[in-house]
Structure 1
Amino acid sequence: MMQFTETPPPHLHHITTTFSNHTMSKTPIYRTRPWPGFPTSKALGSFGDANCMEQLLVRCANAIESNDATLAQQILWVLNNIAPPDGDSNQRLTSAFLRALIARAAKIGTCKMLAAMANAHCNLAVNTHNFSVIELASFVDLTPWHRFGFTAANAAILEAVEGYSVIHIVDLSLTHCMQIPTLIDAIANRLEGPPLVKLTIAGAIDDVPPKLDLSYEELGSKLINFARSRNVLLEFRLIPSSYADGFSSLIEQLRLQHLVYSESGEALVVNCHMMLHYIPEETLSPLSNTNRNPYSFESSSSQSLRMMFLKALRSLEPTIVVLVDEDADLTSNNLVCRLRSAFNYLWIPYDAVDTFLPRGSNQRQWYEAEICWKIENVIAHEGSQRVERLEPKSRWVQRMRNANFKGVSFGEEALSEVKTMLDEHAAGWGLKKEDDDLVLTWKGHNVVFATAWLPA
């Protein structure tokens, strides 16, 4: 974290006045270097609750956006003292947002003073870990964040493909096929015997964590060997395709295959695990500003690539589409709106990590680096560089219905398996059913949703 070694401006009266009505929190009081006219370390304790930290971050964001370097520096000084990067969960969360705001100031150059300070005193790059396959498998098992979606999706997929001798799985997953071995295990134990499994992935997420330290070709070889050990014949195919254009290359290849296999009785499964929110949506680039339609059907200029992608999937008549993603809204073009939304969602992983990982462990560092990367992308970047554009479940449900899909309810077996999986984790995790959908919760707050869809 940046250390403010220069003497700050002479007072923070307007900040202390704004927050003077808040009660003292239980946050430990930090011994800060006294400055003439600044709050003492005792007074800084009153800023320690999450609501005050959020308000300070909002005011800092507004100061940076309005190029008020003096006010921004004052608030940053306070935040730097009350939110150490190794503090409690709220402090670590605030520290990550503080870092992201400094990165934004350095990146966009509106606050020249802050940009110069950032460049001189702080390396702002978030260092995410390159995982081995074993490390990544262990990493995603740490919490239900990914396992919830794996478990719910696999149960829905198994039910949908019952009786098929050939199953084509299109895996659009943030976690580099970590869901697939469990699915292969379940498929291998079918009463009617294991089917031929065709696995297609889009090599498109090298710039988004978690990152894997081996190529997709090597990953494919490992999956083929694993399937062989379970007496399942697996064919692996990589289609280079990017979320930036709505996976247009993938869609085109699937369309060509569909023409060949549509009458062969092959099941087509599309598994979307925390990947579709990287496809650009309406607030980034309306299609009216693009030169060409990446798909070969007519569409109105008001449609986003997300909508076009879903309609293209619908035209392939898939056996089932499973959509799992994080239940938050990070699409606003307004920085403060995004900051508030992200702050009130991303406290969850910081809070949860305290229940299962000790301070200083490598896994904890990797875990929190992933969150820091997300926060920086949401706060410090704009335009096409801001790829963390989460949408809440309600909006995805409406998108799927508009693309002529109908929701299918998760069965009792899926519910039972998810509950069994949650029993392996901390008591704060929970499960609730909303209409046809399943939602993972932490202390009652929505975290991740799982939905399953059939062509209407």
Structure 2
Amino acid sequence: MMQFTRSAPPLTSIHPSGLGPCLDDDASKHSLHRSWPWPGLLTSSKSLGRLNTASCMEQLLVHCANAIESNDATLAQQILWVLNNIAPPDGDSNQRLTSAFLRALIARASKTGSCKMLTAVAARADADLAIHLHRFSAIDLASFIDLTPWHRFGYAAANSAIVEAVEGLPVVHIVDLSTTHCMQVPTLIDLLANRPEGPPFIRLTVPTFTTTATPPLLDMSYDELGSRLVNFARSRNVAMEFIMIPSDPSDAFDSLIEQLRVQRLVSEGEAVIVNCQMLPHYIPEETVGAIVSTMNVNSPILSLRTMFLKALRSLEPTLVTLVDEDADFTSCDVVGRLRSAFNYLWIPYDAVDTFLPKGSEQRRWYEAGLCWKIENVVAQEGLQRVERLEPKGRWGQRMRAAGFRSVRFTEEAAGEVKSMLGEHAAGWGLKREDEDLMLTWKGHNVVFASAWMPS
């Protein structure tokens, strides 16, 4: 990424307040809008070291974002200089996290043009700022996902609930709304193949996105992926049909829902399972609906997420599994999103140190995906900002309002998840929240798993 000069930038004035309690006092906050508040900081490595804590780096990022939004290029460049010195991209987990937010703020200045001087600087650094995402083969992606319980947790919880819900049913239609290209499906096929009453016929439907794909990227067509999955199922003596439907979160999977509705009319006795794994939060929520409505004065403001869930409910599914990250990235204010993302995404940066060595190729792939997420949250606006996570409680409210009731995960399901977590580093944990399961890292909520039936 671009590097700022290590010599001190020119200062317009010096504020006598000193370092202060890491910018938390009101005087320091207001002084940031007028001048550089820390005398001697730029020439003292000891002073720079005093800022090398997560809370101070967060405050610096917040003030930098405010400076960019208020078009204070001088102050923004000064803070960026400090951040560049205290947060190298190859440092510890907090430094790498901060470095990712640093590049996202530079990208925001470039994309929005909100800080003219920085826009010119960022334009000259586009090559260094570009995030290079790896394209996985199916085998490499499966191996990559197995490194961490981030996705495996949801797979294990959802698969257990699905197998129980379709017990004894001869035809199972699985609608896989996931970000990981059906990587959950082989394990589910294995579980269904071993049913005492024999395996069901499986119909697997997946959406194929019509807009820009999100990481992880697959270096394979869905035609080939489907062929491989059908062959895998056949090797387990399971008959399976693979169906692709061009559809996208941007329109709340309207094409997919419509085709499922038609299929429902002609397929009696078919159990419909909708497996939502970290994909529904890409459906635009109300703030984007407001943006869209401004393009057409006759268009009402609609909640696409509400429309999607109500459409699912109208299909009378046997079960809906909903797994997602337990965070809130929906604020209209960039500073609010930055704070939420910083206080959530430290988790994957902290965890990666336990399972991937520094400098490894897989670690570069892993952290490039995190950088993409951070840039999308911080630098993008409107329909381009697709990372709009909502916390578990809000999804629960949405599901109940759409006519679903929650289903408690059994002790057997929880046991399967605990067994899987035993394969990973200490620090990962499991807890129950109401009927749901929650993956934790060092006691902090990470990913929730929930199951729902029509009420």
Q: Please state which band the TM-score falls in when normalised by the shorter chain.
A: over 0.9
Q: Partner letter of residue 189 of structure 1?
A: N
* Maintained 8 Å contact 2:175/2:274: yes
Q: TM-score, normalised by structure 1?
A: 0.92
Counterpart residue number, 2:339: 340
Aligned residue for 2:418, secondary structure, equals: helix
Q: C-alpha distance in 1, partners of 2:73/2:301? A: 39
2:144 is the alignment partner of 1:145: no
> Structure 1 CA distance, aligned partners of 2:171 and 2:263?
14
Which residue identity lines up with residue 9 of structure 2 in the other structure? P
Q: Provide the rounded CA distance (Å) in 2 between the counterparts of 1:219 and 1:243.
A: 21
Aligned to 2:27: none
2:32 maps to which residue?
Answer: none
Query: What is the Cα deviation at residue 7 of structure 1?
Result: 5.6
Aligned residue runs from structure 1 range 348-427, under 5 A: 348-427=347-426
Cα 1:155–1:206 shift into 2, 3 Å: farther
Shift of 1:121: 3.6
Offset at residue 265 of structure 1 (A): 1.2
Is 1:222 aligned with 2:223? no
Partner of 1:169: 174
Determine which of 61, 71, 85 is the counterpart of 2:65.
61
Match of 2:200 among 195, 201, 205: 195
Contact 1:11 1:37 in 2 (8 A): no
Q: Distance in 2 between matches of 1:440 and 1:118?
A: 38
In structure 1, which of residues 38, 45, 48 is the aligned counterpart of residue 52 of structure 2? 48
Shift in Å, 1:38: 2.3
Distance in 2 (CA, whole Å) between partners of 1:366 and 1:316 is 38
Change (3 A) 1:403 1:84: same
Q: What residue is the counterpart of 1:116 in the other structure?
A: 120
TM-score (normalised: structure 2) = 0.92
The one-letter code of the counterpart of 2:152 is R
Alpha-carbon contact 2:22-2:59 (below 8 Å) kept: no
Equivalent residue of 1:237, what SS? strand
Q: How is 1:2-401 mapped onto 2 (pairs within 5 angstroms)?
A: 2-5=2-5, 8-10=9-11, 13-14=14-15, 17=17, 19-22=19-22, 38-123=42-127, 124-204=129-209, 207-261=213-267, 264-286=268-290, 301=300, 303-401=302-400
Contact 2:203 2:240 (8 Å CA) reproduced: yes
- Give CA deviations for 1:236-292 in whole Å, capped at 9, x if unaligned: 00000011100000011001111112xx21110000000000000001114855769
1:231: Cα distance to partner?
A: 0.4
Distance 1:329 1:227 in 2: 38
**Alpha carbons 1:19, 1:52 under 8 Å: kept:** no
Quick one: which amino acid aligns to residue 335 of structure 2? V
In the alignment, the residues of structure 2 paired with residue 150 and residue 99 of structure 1 have an alpha-carbon distance, to the nearest angstrom, of: 33
Cα deviation for residue 106 of structure 1 reads 0.9
Q: Separation in 1 of the partners of 2:437 and 2:40?
A: 55
Q: Which moved further from structure 2: 277-286 or 346-355?
A: 277-286
Task: Note closer, same or farther for the CA distance 1:12–1:174 as it changes in structure 2 (3 Å cut).
Answer: farther
* Distance verdict in 2 for CA 1:254–1:291, change over 3 Å: farther
Once the two structures are TM-superposed, the CA of residue 303 in structure 1 deviates from its matched residue by 4.1
Decide whether the 8 Å contact of 1:10 with 1:37 is kept in 2.
no
- For this pair of structures, how many residues does the alignment match? 436
Distance, in Å, in 1 between the alignment partners of 2:157 and 2:212 is 26
Task: Give the Cα–Cα distance (whole angstroms) in 2 for the partners of residues 172 and 395 of structure 1.
Answer: 19
Q: Secondary structure at the match of 1:384?
A: helix
Distance 1:417 1:217 in 2: 32
Identical aligned residues as a percent: 69
Deviation, 1:4, is 1.6
Residue 112 of structure 1 deviates from its aligned partner by 1.6
Letter in 1 for 2:359: G
**In the aligned structure 2, how far is the partner of 1:318 from the partner of 1:404?**
12
Letter in 1 for 2:311: A
Equivalent residues of 1:357, 1:364 under 8 A apart:
yes
Gaps of 5+ in 1: 24-34, 294-299
Structure-2 separation of matches of 1:54 and 1:316: 45
The CA RMSD measured in Å over matched residues stands at: 2.0
Gap regions ≥5 residues in structure 2: 24-38
